[in-house]
């Protein structure tokens, strides 16, 4: 999948492992976030995510309808939106929206 970071702090967190003020995460959360983004990058389609049971991929409902999520840790999830563009081959674009504390 092609990855598009919708928030600057998500891109910084992935590439530099540093977060800006107001978006601070424990080192273990950052490490797992990078691991999950790498899994998303290596997947060709959403179907490639299903073998990773730990991701707990799901489509969200309610006020977040239209978004999907994958689990980063037991406490944090990554909200994403995927788009499929068909040209000569299928290209899936994964827009990473937010890293949220799911239970807060």
Per residue in 49-94, pLDDT (tens digit) is 999 999 999 999 999 898 899 999 999 999 999 887 776 555 677 7
Class of domain 2-101 as given by CATH: alpha beta
Domain boundaries, given as residue ranges, for the chain: 2-101
The pLDDT assigned to 46 comes to 87
Question: In whole numbers, what is the pLDDT of the chain averaged over residues?
Answer: 86
pTM score, two decimals?
0.85
The answer to whether the beta carbons of residues 20 and 99 sit under 8 Å apart is: no
Quick one: how far is CA 6 from the chain centroid?
A: 11
The pLDDT assigned to 89 comes to 56
Please give the structure tokens belonging to residue 1.
Answer: 């999948």
The pLDDT assigned to 17 comes to 86
Pairwise CA distance, residues 9 & 42, whole Å: 22
Pairwise CA distance, residues 91 & 89, whole Å: 6
What band does 104 get if pLDDT is binned at 50, 70 and 90?
A: low
């Amino acid at each position: 999948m092609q990855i598009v970071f919708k928030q600057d702090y998500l891109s910084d967190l992935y590439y530099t492992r540093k977060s800006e003020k107001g978006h601070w995460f424990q080192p273990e959360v950052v490490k797992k976030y990078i691991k999950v983004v790498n899994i998303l990058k290596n997947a060709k389609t959403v179907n490639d995510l299903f073998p990773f049971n730990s991701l707990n991929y799901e489509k969200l409902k309610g006020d977040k309808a239209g978004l999907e999520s994958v689990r980063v840790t037991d406490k944090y999830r990554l909200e994403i939106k995927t788009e499929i563009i068909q040209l000569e081959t299928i290209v899936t674009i994964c827009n990473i929206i937010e890293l949220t504390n799911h239970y807060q």
